[in-house]
Amino acid sequence: MPTKAHLLIVDDEANTLASLSRAFRLAGHEATVCDSAAKALELAKTQRFDVILSDVVMPGKGGLALLEELKAQGVTSPVVMMSGQADIEMAVRATRLGALDFLEKPISTEKLLLTVENALKLQRLESENRQLRQRLGKHEIVWQGAAMQRVMAQVERVATSETRVCILGETGTGKELMARTIHERSARAGGAFVTLNCAAVPAELIESELFGHEKGSFTGAAGRHIGKFEQADHGTIFLDEIGDMPLAMQAKLLRVLQEGEVERIGGEKPVSVDVRVVVATHRDLEVRVREEKFRQDLYHRIYVFPLVLPPLRERREDIPALVGHFAAQVSAQNGWKPVPFSAEAMEALQSYTWPGNVRELRNMVERLMLLATEGQVDLTTVEMVLPKTSSAVVVPSTFSSGPLADRVDGFEREVILAELKRSHSNVSLAAKSLGLERSHLYKKAEQLGIDLRAMRREQESTHE
């Protein structure tokens, strides 16, 4: 049981409130009291309680109606009902509405504390089960090479802090999986891990998705909706593809990060939230800032600890372990017998450049297992399935004449263009892959007549 649980006690009798709150405080807990369902609903909007205890029969709105509205409001705290006029029908109805327990008054202090302790134990078990489910199967990070060893060392350092992390990497490198790993290795592991892909939600809906809305706040708002930030209270929110967030929404997100509270659309009061924010993007945020497509103040808020995930072509030594992991996963999901990969097949998989990264490899493994013959995946099967052309940087052979300086410039230009294409015009990733500082790459591109801004605009237009 936590050393200090926060309880909400709802009862219209002042003596009951006084005695119960005193009992809980003596037991080392914090107790907030109120004498009506209406006040309880207001408190639940702005505070999080570990357990809520409510009388059933109260003037105006009764305890069962309160329970129903708490559930509709998205409150996940366990609710225990109390009544001096209890009957079986009332207890059954309370249970169906979501009450954890139903206690008949007068309640002994010992029984009440035991009930609260059981409610808190149940919450911990549910949290542990969530974590266990998250760690199984698809949520496991598989690696054995030096490239990922460096990344995982950084993860170990930053996970235990409250530092905001910005995960950078190409599509398919596992940014969400890395964000989940950071959450699971943090002190917030018992809380929720909530995700939102900023590029996948229409601009007119993203505010509601993030911050929620009240019933009737706009056409189609048939009921209250609890946003992602409130869902992630005491946990972690992962904002994927934050580089695609509309500018107007960026200003509102900045306010939440500064103030630690959200305002539902149509709401009258801000709601406090305690959330760790992890973001990810495949875009170059510094370029977005210069192009005035991303707020500089928000950039400085989220870009506290950048974590760069290497593409699969830079961690080829991990491919055998990843193939084995995905093969076991696919076999378990489909009830298949394990299918081994021949040494030649594995070598061919390691030679491919994987433009779709780990996500592409996972899909490829399933396809190969379906096509496997004679009890294994062999080289013939791999060659049949792998694309015939590779996205690796190709060294041009067209500079066989002319002055040496011209040949060198032409070669450098083609190599830089190929790397920019491979990294989807992400200057930071291209510079890292080429072993250059960003400023050096910008200067070199200018010397060679490469318009990086035009390339970015063209790349973004293909995503819009």
Per-residue pLDDT tens digits for 352-371: 999 899 999 999 999 999 99
pLDDT given at position 152: 95
**What share of the chain in percent tops pLDDT 90?**
55
Ordered domains of the chain (ranges, CATH): 6-127 (3.40.50.2300), 136-308 (3.40.50.300), 312-385 (1.10.8.60), 404-463 (1.10.10)
Cis peptide, bond prior to residue 106, ω within 30 of zero = yes
Res. 427 pLDDT band, cuts 50 70 90: confident
pLDDT per residue as tens digits for the range 175-205: 999 999 999 999 999 899 999 999 999 988 9
Q: How confident is the model at residue 139 (pLDDT cuts 50, 70, 90)?
A: low
Lowest mean pLDDT among 32-36, 101-105, 122-126, 199-203: 122-126
Band of the pLDDT at 313, cuts 50, 70, 90? Answer: very high
- State the pTM of this model: 0.61
Give the C-alpha distances (Å, rounded to integers) separating 258 from 255, 275, 277.
Answer: 5, 12, 12
Q: What pLDDT band is residue 275 in, cutting at 50, 70 and 90?
A: very high
pLDDT tens column, 26-71: 988 889 999 999 999 999 888 888 899 999 989 989 999 999 899 8
Mean pLDDT of 271-275: 95
Euclidean distance between CA atoms 238 and 222, whole angstroms:
27
Q: Is residue 430 over pLDDT 90?
A: no
Distance CA 464, CA 459 (A): 9
Residue 137 has pLDDT above 50, yes or no: no
Contacts of 155 (CB under 8 A, 6+ apart): 178, 181, 182, 185, 307
Over 70: is that where the pLDDT of 77 sits? yes
